[in-house]
Amino acid sequence: MPNPMHGKRTASPVINASLALIEVDRAITDLRRGGLVIVRDAKSIVLIQAAEAITADCLARFVKLAGTTPTLAVTRRRAAALKLTEPTQEPRGTVLLALPEGVEARYLRYLADPAELAVVSGAAITARPTWPGDTADAAVELAKLARLLPAVLIASLTADAAAALAARESILTLTAAEIVDYQGAAARSLRRVADARVPLEGAEDTQIIAFRPSDGGIEHLAILIGNPDPAGPVLTRLHSECFTGDLLGSLRCDCGDQLRGAIGEIARTGGGVLLYLAQEGRGIGLVNKLRAYQLQDSGFDTIDANEQLGFDADERIYLPAAEMLRQLHFLRVSLLTNNPEKVASLTRLGITIVERVPHVFPANGHNERYLRTKATRSGHLL
């Protein structure tokens, strides 16, 4: 079904890409505040709503607007955690859960969130995998982009019904491709928007440079220390933001030590850059990280906790980092990291890794299990 905004697009492909980013960003906002979104591809059109926003009134309205009993789209990891599907060699992907008629909102929230108490649904739930990149897959990806639990209420619509519903209820319509392509397109659209000299403790000759995507989304920062030679190799650290560790000094992780240690090491060696990436909680967001912490307190390790919530062990992407390095003209780097995936990702994205520089800090009495899991299950070189 054509989106009114799509029909008005006559600008260049670059502008078209920016409009697509803006539409996805608007849909993210709608989903976060409990709103509805329509997602379409060449084969199907669906109405969606984030599962964690569902109340009894919301569910009744959704059923009324859709005209049918909805299904729940969850990740394959979440379906396996619920024992509705068997664990597989390929745990990625989306599963549709057929819901019994008259299902209660609180049961939907239980299916989405391991912190919710289970209630009797009154009927068995069947699970059916979907095709990668289809509307259900894109709908769950949109929930992830919104930093919500990766579970959405979903109902099929005809083209005519979708058009009427979008017009009557002012519901935004997106294509599945726009959602799936969003992170890459946003990273490629990053532009330098501001910079300032910010003397830091132990690194007084420091400049902070902000990069913003064209949809006006959250900025990534480059902390430039000294005056590194672009001919390189430039000592570089990729650091994903960690509110609890970086700002509050949490002892559950080693993020604060890594941040401050990297700034000190870069300054000591004469200069380099630390990229501060807006990817809290390995890309799942602060709220979901706190949910994962709650699961860790009940016995799960950091990877299993993410997977119980329905996320991959690590949801980060490194295209923003590669784009920032390109714009800074740092194409040859010495990478300050213990994570081989960062080396592999930047290499795939065209950045030459001259060497990997170890970046290890001692355990503090609270994060031994966290560090052990990083080493034994994530392959970190600790």
Q: Is 316 a catalytic residue?
A: yes
Spot the catalytic one: 316, 326, 356, 369: 316
Using DSSP's 3-state secondary structure scheme, residue 232 falls into coil
Evaluate whether 165 touches 1 at the Cβ level (below 8 Å).
Answer: no
Angle at 160 between CA 156 and CA 163, to 5 degrees: 90
Angle at 129 between CA 123 and CA 135, to 5 degrees: 105
Spot the catalytic one: 57, 191, 314, 348: 314
Eight-class DSSP state of 28: H
DSSP bridge pairs for 239: 276
Q: Is 314 a catalytic residue?
A: yes
Cα of first residue to Cα of last residue in the chain, in angstroms, is 52
Evaluate whether 333 touches 353 at the Cβ level (below 8 Å).
Answer: yes
Q: Report, in angstroms and rounded to the nearest whole number, the Rg of the chain calculated over CA atoms.
A: 22
Q: 357: which residues sit within 8 A by CB, 6+ positions away? A: 235, 265, 334, 335, 336, 337
Question: Using N-to-C axis directions, what is the helix angle for 135-145 and 13-32, rounded to 10°?
Answer: 70
Q: 308: which residues sit within 8 A by CB, 6+ positions away? A: 78, 81, 114, 295, 300
Interatomic CA distance for residues 320 and 341, integer angstroms? 15
Which residues belong to the active site?
314, 316
